[in-house]
Amino acid sequence: MERLSIGIQKSGRLSEKSLDLLKESGISLANGNRKLLSSSQNFPLDAVFLRDDDIPQYVFDGVTDAGIVGENVIREKSHELEVIEKLGFARCRMSIAIPKGVDYNGVVTLDGKKIATSYPNILGSFLAENHIDAEIHVISGSVEIAPGIGLADAIFDIVSTGSTLVSNGLKEVEVVLKSEAVLVARPNLDPVKREILDKLLFRIRAVRKSRDNKYILLNAPNDRLDEIINVIPGMKSPTIMPLAEEGWSSVHSVLNENEFWEIIDRLRDLGAQGILVIPIEKMIT
Residues 136/123, Cβ–Cβ less than 8 Å: yes
Query: Domain 213-279 has what CATH class?
Result: alpha beta
User: Cα(270)–Cα(220) distance, rounded to whole angstroms?
Assistant: 8
- Across 3-23, average pLDDT: 91
User: Cα(184)–Cα(78) distance, rounded to whole angstroms?
Assistant: 13
Band the pLDDT of 33: cuts 50, 70, 90. low
Which residue from 244, 252, 178, 183 is spatially nearest to 214, judged by alpha carbons? Answer: 252
Give the torsion through C-alpha atoms of 40, 45, 49, 54, to 10 deg.
Answer: 180
Domain locations along the chain: 4-90+180-189, 92-178, 213-279
User: Cα(193)–Cα(66) distance, rounded to whole angstroms?
Assistant: 10
Q: What angle do CA 110, 116, 119 make, to 5 degrees?
A: 105
Considering the entire predicted model, what is its pTM?
0.80
Q: Is the pLDDT of residue 110 over 90?
A: yes
Two domains, one topology: 4-90+180-189 and 213-279? no
Query: Domain 92-178 has what CATH class?
Result: alpha beta
Domain 4-90+180-189 is classified in which CATH homologous superfamily?
Periplasmic binding protein-like II (3.40.190.10)
Predicted confidence (pLDDT) per residue in 233-282, tens digit? 666 778 899 999 999 999 998 888 778 888 889 999 999 999 998 888 87
Name 158's Cβ contacts closer than 8 Å, sequence gap at least 6. Answer: 72, 92, 93, 94, 179
